[in-house]
């Protein structure tokens, strides 16, 4: 068992603007494009993953091992990458799993491309990152499901609903590895179905832990800061996404909630959207950008022995393209938000509350956030601004829902409030 002390997190707020502010400086290299250049034309098979990671093991900065076996006896590989001059405990640690659902390939493809890049590149920014962050990556968490192209494992279990009981060999292996590595952050890579009736599934999204009075404030504030940085970078690279936030009452059967809520580690669920308009390369880019943004911020925010040179942001924002002038949209003088649903205060709901916000944007409008009883539950920058609120997590009685409109700096420029009444026969008093 590894017994090195766990690095502590610097107070949230230090270096908060470094990542985006440095985008004003000339970009020396675009790591995102370099990683994407290593993607193939088709997804890896399970056997090809094993063969390829064995080749990575030849590099002095890479360790490849098995953390256990699947239900049908297939190896579950873990690849660790760090600078050869560092040892465990000297760097922040980022633990990533992909393909808990065997039919969701983009996370595996993104991690294979990222591992190939980090294993082979001698670029100064890559070396600096690896001096400060160790990557521990499980590229295929569900080997049997990957071979069968099935969401479930060989026993027919959805692994991402098994984290409350941890009954399967795959989840037990990942739990053991997580506890051995004691990471400073956790990422779980997934994909969304091409079509879904759920409002949350209409585009790619990130889910993490909210600023919740029942949880550690340093962890939840770091989750909020990192998720906002991921959102900003995704937009800069031409992607759209929503951000959703969990509370201490959220269902803990999902991996990111188990490791975040039960084991108090900043944890992030990445869901890339499949279907028309979302190529495999687009979906891979989504996971690569999110992973590198979080790794870069860990490099700056985790207190560990480090070189004297200051950490530099590692993902330059792309240069703004030159485009012909277009007619400017007619914006309102100031942003206005209102609830279209519920249509009035103190409406009673027994199962779920349909939320629909109408926004009349001004030129400074960037996104909206939704809050329930003071806890932020969602961020979105794309209409329609709608979702549903399941009432089974709330006591019967009156609850306050607030929508806030923000500018690019996060400043609140408009808000609306609605009171709803939960009247669920199976809810608490």
Rounded CA separation 415/337 (Å):
6
204 in Cβ contact with 239 (< 8 Å): yes
From 303, 320, 354, give the residue that closes a domain: 303
Whether 219 and 361 map to the same domain: the answer is: no
CATH number, domain containing residue 351: 2.60.40.10
178 in Cβ contact with 95 (< 8 Å): yes
226 in Cβ contact with 208 (< 8 Å): yes
Q: Classify residue 330: in a domain, yes or no.
A: no
CATH number, domain containing residue 247: 3.40.630.10
Split into its structural domains, the chain has a count of 2
**Residue 254, H or E segment:** none
Which tokens sit at 395? 């006591």
Rounded CA separation 219/261 (Å):
10
Q: Classify residue 193: in a domain, yes or no.
A: yes
Q: E strands within 139-201?
A: 185-192
The pLDDT of residue 317 is 44
Q: Classify residue 313: in a domain, yes or no.
A: no
Which tokens sit at 290? 């999110």
Q: How far is CA 421 from the centre of its chain?
A: 32
> Under 8 Å CB-to-CB from 70, ≥6 apart: which residues?
76, 142, 143, 144, 153, 154, 169, 170
Whether 401 and 257 map to the same domain: the answer is: no
Q: Classify residue 144: in a domain, yes or no.
A: yes
3-state DSSP assignment of residue 84: coil
From 303, 324, 355, give the residue that closes a domain: 303
Whether 166 and 230 map to the same domain: the answer is: yes
**Model confidence, pTM:** 0.80
Which tokens sit at 318? 């792309």
Whether 179 and 289 map to the same domain: the answer is: yes
Rounded CA separation 58/14 (Å):
38
Rounded CA separation 146/149 (Å):
5
Burial 399-417 (b: 16+ CB within 10 A, else e): bebbbbbbbeeeeebbebe
Whether 269 and 400 map to the same domain: the answer is: no
Whether 294 and 360 map to the same domain: the answer is: no
The pLDDT of residue 46 is 97
Which tokens sit at 291? 């992973």
Rounded CA separation 289/233 (Å):
7
| DSSP-H helix ranges across 195-326 | 217-236, 255-257, 280-301
Q: Classify residue 247: in a domain, yes or no.
A: yes
Tokens 């870069």 sit on residue: 296
CB atoms within 10 A of CB 122: 6
Whether 104 and 184 map to the same domain: the answer is: yes
Rounded CA separation 136/67 (Å):
11
Q: Classify residue 378: in a domain, yes or no.
A: yes
Rounded to 5°, the CA angle 221-222-223 comes to 90
53 in Cβ contact with 77 (< 8 Å): yes
Tokens 């009954």 sit on residue: 167
Peptide bond just before 317 cis, omega within 30 deg: no
Q: Classify residue 277: in a domain, yes or no.
A: yes
Structural domain range at position 98: 29-303
Write out residues in the chain with pLDDT < 50, as ranges: 1-28, 306-328, 427-429
Rounded CA separation 119/56 (Å):
6
Whether 74 and 187 map to the same domain: the answer is: yes
Rounded CA separation 369/387 (Å):
12
The pLDDT of residue 272 is 96
Whether 245 and 101 map to the same domain: the answer is: yes
Tokens 């509370």 sit on residue: 247
Whether 98 and 184 map to the same domain: the answer is: yes
From 257, 278, 303, give the residue that closes a domain: 303
Whether 275 and 391 map to the same domain: the answer is: no
The pLDDT of residue 426 is 62
Rounded CA separation 137/146 (Å):
16
Q: Classify residue 250: in a domain, yes or no.
A: yes
The pLDDT of residue 5 is 29
Whether 344 and 412 map to the same domain: the answer is: yes
């Amino acid at each position: 068992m590894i017994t090195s002390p766990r690095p502590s997190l610097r107070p949230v707020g230090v270096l908060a603007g470094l990542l985006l502010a440095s985008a004003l400086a000339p970009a020396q290299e675009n790591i995102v494009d370099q990683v994407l250049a290593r993607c193939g034309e088709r997804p890896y098979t399970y056997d090809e993953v094993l063969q390829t990671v064995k080749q990575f093991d030849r590099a002095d900065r890479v360790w490849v091992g098995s953390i256990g076996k699947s239900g049908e006896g297939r190896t579950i590989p873990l690849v660790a990458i760090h600078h050869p001059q560092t040892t465990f405990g000297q760097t922040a640690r980022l633990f990533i799993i992909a393909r808990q659902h065997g039919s969701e390939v983009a996370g595996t493809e993104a991690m294979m491309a990222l591992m190939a890049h980090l294993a082979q590149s001698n670029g100064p920014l890559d070396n600096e990152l690896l001096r400060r962050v160790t990557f521990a990556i499980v590229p295929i968490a569900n080997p049997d499901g990957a071979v069968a192209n099935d969401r479930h494992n060989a026993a027919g279990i959805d692994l991402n609903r098994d984290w409350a009981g941890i009954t399967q060999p795959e989840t037990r292996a990942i739990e053991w590895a997580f506890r051995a590595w004691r990471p400073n952050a956790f990422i779980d890579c997934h994909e969304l179905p091409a079509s879904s009736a759920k409002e949350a599934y209409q585009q790619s999204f990130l889910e993490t832990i909210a600023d919740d009075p029942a949880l550690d404030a340093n962890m939840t504030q770091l989750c909020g800061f990192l998720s906002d940085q991921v959102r900003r970078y995704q937009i800069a690279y031409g992607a759209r996404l929503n951000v959703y936030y969990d509370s201490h009452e959220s269902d803990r059967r999902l991996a990111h909630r188990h490791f975040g809520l039960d084991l108090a580690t900043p944890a992030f669920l990445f869901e890339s959207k499949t279907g028309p308009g979302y190529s495999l390369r687009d979906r891979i880019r989504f996971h690569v950008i999110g992973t590198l943004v979080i790794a870069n911020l860990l490099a700056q925010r985790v207190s560990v022995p480090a070189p004297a040179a200051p950490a530099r942001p590692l993902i330059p924002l792309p240069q703004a393209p030159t485009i012909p002038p277009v007619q400017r949209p007619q914006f309102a003088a100031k942003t206005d938000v209102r609830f279209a649903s519920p249509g009035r205060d103190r409406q009673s709901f027994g199962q779920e509350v349909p939320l629909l916000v109408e926004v009349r944007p001004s030129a400074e409008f960037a996104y909206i956030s939704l809050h329930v009883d003071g806890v932020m539950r969602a961020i979105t920058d794309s209409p329609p601004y709608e979702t549903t609120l399941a009432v089974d997590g709330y006591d019967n009685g009156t609850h306050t829902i607030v929508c806030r409109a923000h500018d690019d700096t996060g400043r609140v420029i408009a808000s609306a409030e609605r009171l709803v009444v939960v009247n669920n026969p199976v809810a608490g008093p």
